[in-house]
Amino acid sequence: MKQIVFATNNPHKLEEIRQIAGTNLKILSLAEIDCHDDIPETADTLEGNALIKARYIKEKYGYDCFADDTGLEIVALGNEPGVYSARYAGKDCNPQRNMEKVLNKMKGIENRQASFRTVIALILGNETHLFEGSIPGEITTGKRGDAGFGYDPIFQPTGYSLTFAELGEEEKNKISHRAIATGKLLQFLRNIL
């Protein structure tokens, strides 16, 4: 079975990707390759951050790997928080504070259109490939649900009456931005492995 490293320190993302991938691919965590580095995310695009992380692991540890970066893009806020989604509330940010900042900025705004976008950078041998997944939706007026992570309690995907946090992991993993990008990654790997 092919082994590949997922360059993330986020245990929620790791578990989500492993569930989506199933048994077709052995996905190693950073801890499993004894990497405990805090890899900087200094690019101003999702693509750039994903590439920084994947290149770091390939160059320092030699493993084929992939990394992702995900952003919540809200139309009325000029696509904020975007690449800064994980640290939107500043120095002492956490998911709760990030959500509160979004909800505060969205007070009184009628256009609540948003999308979640994930970019995966794959480095396989000497080749680099990018895969993208996006799902449209809207920002709710308050938090709903307790499953998922990040902005899931305030993001309601188009065509659904529930937020990602209300849908639950299994349903979310079928339709999410990460599921779409991961599906493209896995299809690509199936075709070449």
Distance (Å, whole) CA 151 – CA 80: 13
Annotated binding-site residue numbers:
8-13, 69-70, 149-152, 172, 177-178
- Binding-site sequence positions for substrate: 8-13, 70, 149-152, 172, 177-178
Strand pairing class (127-139; 113-124) = antiparallel
69 catalytically annotated: yes
Token readout for 132 is 């993208």
Q: Are 89 and 30 in contact (CB under 8 A)?
A: no
Q: Token pair for residue 57?
A: 């692991």
* 3-class SS of residue 127: strand
Neighbouring CB atoms inside 10 A of 153's CB total: 22
The 10 Å Cβ neighbour count of residue 117 is 24
Selecting among 34, 38, 44, 69, the annotated active-site residue is 69
Separation between Cα atoms, residue 150 and residue 84, nearest integer Å: 12
Cα separation, 120 vs 113, whole angstroms: 23
Binding-site residues for Mg(2+) sit at 69
Catalytic residues: 69
